[in-house]
Amino acid sequence: MVSGAKALLDSTGRAPSHVPAALLSHRQLIDQSPDAMLIAAGDGSIVAANPVAERLWSRSPLAGCELLTLFEPTSQAVIAAWTPSPAACPPETRTRLLARRPDGTTRDVEVIPAHLSSGHLQLTVRDMTEAHLALRSEEHTSELQSRGL
């Protein structure tokens, strides 16, 4: 199965009209990004996702899914506010949210929203789960050492 932005091309090798031109022109950058990247239409449907995003959510393809279903209910209100309104997400704002996988497990993620000139919402998503586990482990070790244990 073809994944990521390459999946946006139809059988003739052309992009459907709902795919933003900016996405197609930057397809290689999106697919090679070390972070998960999602592109959503104004109605909240995902029109593109890179392979990193598909691994993060353990789901392929993500294109066609509803963006809100990828996040915990506590995070959905934040995402919903970003979707229709560019003013709701100032550039370079980093927000910590909880991503939800199909099996119900969650991942602590940092999300940077941006609105494309096409009106689509781009989310750059970095999985912070491992970093937080390492930090908690270091804090726990420091606490034990301070107690002489």
- What is residue 86's DSSP assignment? G
Q: How many helices (H) and strands (E) are present in the chain, helices listed first? A: 5, 5
What's the pLDDT score for residue 9?
42
Calculate the average pLDDT of the chain: 77
Q: Residue 76: its pLDDT value, please?
A: 95
Check residue 100 and give its pLDDT.
96
Q: Is the pLDDT of residue 3 over 50?
A: no
At 115 the pLDDT is 84
Burial group, residue 78, by CB count within 10 angstroms (0-12, 13-18, 19+): middle
d(Cα 76, Cα 109) in Å, to the nearest integer? Answer: 13
Segment 19-64, tens digit of pLDDT: 556 556 666 777 888 899 998 888 899 988 999 999 999 999 999 9
Helix (H) or strand (E) holding 21: helix 21-25
- For residue range 77-88, list pLDDT tens digits in order: 999 888 777 666
